[in-house]
Amino acid sequence: MKKEELQAIASQLKNPTGEKGIEMANMMHETNINMTRHSVQNLNIADGNKILEIGHGNAGHLEYVLQQASDLQYYGLELSELMFKEAQQINQKFVTQKQAHFSLYDGNIIPFQDVSFDKIFTVNTIYFWEDPEKMLSEIYRILLQKGIFCVTFAEESFMKQLPFTQYEFELYDTKKAEKLVEKTLFKIVNKETLIEKVKTKTGELVDRAFTTLVLVK
């Protein structure tokens, strides 16, 4: 593939737009569903929790999140206007019932008050954070005391095999992610790396290693 095509893929993964963006979102939902579930499972969601997801894509997994306990409130934050609209459309039922609330943000400042959420999670967004330390301190700020934050990402060993990740992506392995967290007030209480089979664009099955770090305020 040409450099321009690879850059276009990287850009769509960071901020999906247009027709291609909708295709990309559907593909991301399918390929990331195990990672998303792993992140959610590690949150230990309890009845009445207020949950924030950063970078939810089309939020095709929202029903799964809301099945974890009763009386949950879900908030979703997105950079992509297209994903913000798609997520609302796909989850119209939960939006109408006021169980789900979607917002746009600039990728840096989280538009919520201090100590607002019991649980926060994000899947495959860490690569795109402009200022990772600042992002983590923003997440820390809006989390309740003893609140849990799960960050899930595909390991660098896998990601660097994908030619488009040389553009727009900052790749992480577990050690590098832990070093980043050590610069903040978060405590790492658990980490788990799993290997799953995923389909490449050509239909081959390959092993993908991904990690969830469980952080507590």
Residue 190 pLDDT: 98
Dihedral of CA 83/27/173/3: which sign? negative
- 181: three-class secondary structure by DSSP: helix
**Stretch 13-26: mean pLDDT:** 84
Per-residue pLDDT, 201: 63
The vertex-112 CA angle with 106 and 113, nearest 5°, equals 140
What are the backbone angles phi and psi of residue 131, rounded to the nearest 5°?
Answer: -135, 85
Residue 12 has pLDDT above 70, yes or no: yes
Q: What percent of the chain has pLDDT over 70?
A: 99
Q: What is the pLDDT of residue 155?
A: 97
The pLDDT of residue 215 is above 70: yes
Q: Which amino acid is at 97?
A: Q
| pLDDT tens string 148-180 | 999 999 999 999 998 889 988 999 999 999 999
pLDDT over 90 at 147, yes or no: yes
User: In Å, how far from its chain's centre is CA 122?
Assistant: 3
